[in-house]
Amino acid sequence: MPLTVELIPCLSDNYAYLLYDPAGELCAVVDPSEPGPVRCALAKSGRKLTHILNTHHHFDHTGGNIPLKQEFGAEIVGPEKDRERIPGIDTGVDEKTPWQFGRYRGRILEIPAHTRAHIAFAFEDENIVFTGDTLFAMGCGRLFEGTPQMMWTALSKLMQLSDEARVYCGHEYTLSNGRFALTLEPGNADLQARMKDVERLRSSANPTIPSTIGLERKTNPFLRPNS
């Protein structure tokens, strides 16, 4: 059975994600901003939290770590190079770390720029990648601890994934990102069509996530330096 991902809206515009094998016992939450919405999602799914996965240390991605760990005994997995800033971390990972989530093969991508030790969790066989605050739908993260060259290197690494890979990012910034993208490429037909879909979704307060790597190639100005 395929790995299941459920969106969990948190705070004002954050997304955490519930990740589980429908036929197994493991259940993870990616980047829990706060515990309350995660508890509600777990209760609805009937799952017990076993893992917490952090892409980076910012509080709006780790704020739920300690209360959820205390409540469920979940193992916290995060970037080894930022171990001292990940609340409650148990297991540090980097690109050299062989990593499995139950029967699913995971891959850690080091994508520093937004923060110095930012990582992504990729499940390439499942066409799933959690990009945190590095790659957004039609945008990329701010450079708090990195350089533009570091961001381009990180984005280039993500672009090596399959076009079908579904991108689960950390925030609902798509509408504002798309408006900015249109100022750069007003004649981009793919971008125009995507913005119609985004405006329709957001008018009903529906999420625009996930995106795909292929769609980002066509519409994200930060992946289109030669356009």
**How do beta strands 91-93 and 99-101 pair?**
unpaired
Pairing of strands 119-123, 104-110: antiparallel
Q: Which of the residues 31, 51, 57, 60 is marked catalytic?
A: 60
Q: Which of 56, 57, 82, 118 is catalytic?
A: 56
Annotated catalytic residue within 58, 82, 90, 197: 58
Active-site option among 31, 51, 82, 114: 114
- Please indicate whether residue 58 is annotated as part of the active site: yes
> In whole angstroms, what is the distance from residue 151 CA to residue 159 CA?
12
Return the closest-CA partner of residue 38 out of 52, 22, 54.
52
Is 133 in the active site? yes
Of 51, 61, 82, 118, catalytic: 61
Taking the C-alpha atoms of residue 28 and residue 16, their distance in angstroms, rounded to an integer, is: 10
Signed CA dihedral, 56, 70, 32, 16: sign only: positive
Q: Among this protein's residues, is 114 annotated catalytic? A: yes
User: Does residue 118 carry a catalytic annotation?
Assistant: no
Residue 140's SS3 state is strand
The verdict on whether 60 is a catalytic residue reads: yes
Q: Which residues are catalytic?
A: 56, 58, 60-61, 114, 133, 171
